[in-house]
């Protein structure tokens, strides 16, 4: 289990559905260590703090295992070529992880990295901005159907993170997985 990419982005005005909205979903990969504080990564912003950011949603992590799915559906929607990779940060993730999918992560699990400690807090729920970032209108619906939502992380021990960092998973109470909570809320 490790961090493949670290991405940050600033909120900016973007035209979506014929209106100007603030978004920071399309983030860009950065090289080297990035400071991690109680509210997230240095250089990163969230445009709508009512649904993103804050202490319990400071960092958004996404499994690299799902990128092939998104590459395929973007090609089917004719917004990308079949062999075009999904760039780091496109889904709004701060950390692109390898080896940790939603069904493996439970609320309260701790991700221990060399420079910081993060806690799994909740799944990410997509909105219309996700559709715009992915380039087609059914992207959010596909996230709900697939359960490929990623997870929000709280910062337990601030420090730093960088691509290549190994991750040690320390299980929490193991009562509710990210995938179970995502599916339960998506049905409601």
CATH (domain of 80): 2.40.33.20
The domain in which residue 88 lies consists of 2-187
Map residue 174 onto helix, strand or coil.
coil
How many structural domains is the chain composed of? 1
pLDDT tens digits, residue range 52-106? 889 999 999 999 999 999 999 999 999 988 889 999 999 999 999 999 999 999 9
Cα–Cα distance, 67 to 77 (Å, whole number): 15
Q: How many C-beta atoms lie closer than 10 Å to residue 16's C-beta? A: 14
pLDDT tens across 94-129, in order? Answer: 999 999 999 999 999 999 999 999 999 999 999 889
Q: Note the pTM of the prediction, 2 decimals.
A: 0.96
Q: Which residues pair with 152 in a beta bridge?
A: 60, 122
């Amino acid at each position: 289990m490790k961090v493949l990419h670290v991405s940050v982005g600033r909120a900016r005005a973007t035209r979506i559905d014929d209106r100007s909205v603030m978004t920071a979903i399309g983030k860009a990969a950065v090289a080297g260590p990035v400071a991690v504080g109680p509210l997230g990564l240095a250089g990163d912003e969230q445009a709508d703090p009512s649904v993103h950011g804050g202490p319990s949603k400071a960092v958004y992590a996404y499994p690299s295992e799902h990128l092939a799915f998104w590459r395929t559906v973007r090609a089917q929607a004719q917004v990308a070529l079949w062999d075009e990779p999904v760039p780091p940060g496109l889904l709004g993730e701060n950390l692109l992880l390898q080896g940790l999918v939603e069904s493996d992560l439970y609320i309260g699990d701790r991700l221990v990295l060399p420079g910081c400690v993060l806690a799994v807090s909740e799944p990410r729920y997509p909105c219309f901005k996700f559709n715009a970032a992915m380039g087609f209108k059914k992207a959010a619906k596909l996230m709900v159907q697939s359960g490929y939502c990623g997870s929000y992380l709280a910062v337990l021990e601030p420090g730093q993170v960088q691509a290549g960092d190994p991750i040690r998973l320390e299980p929490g109470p193991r009562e509710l997985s990210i995938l179970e909570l995502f599916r339960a809320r998506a049905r409601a």
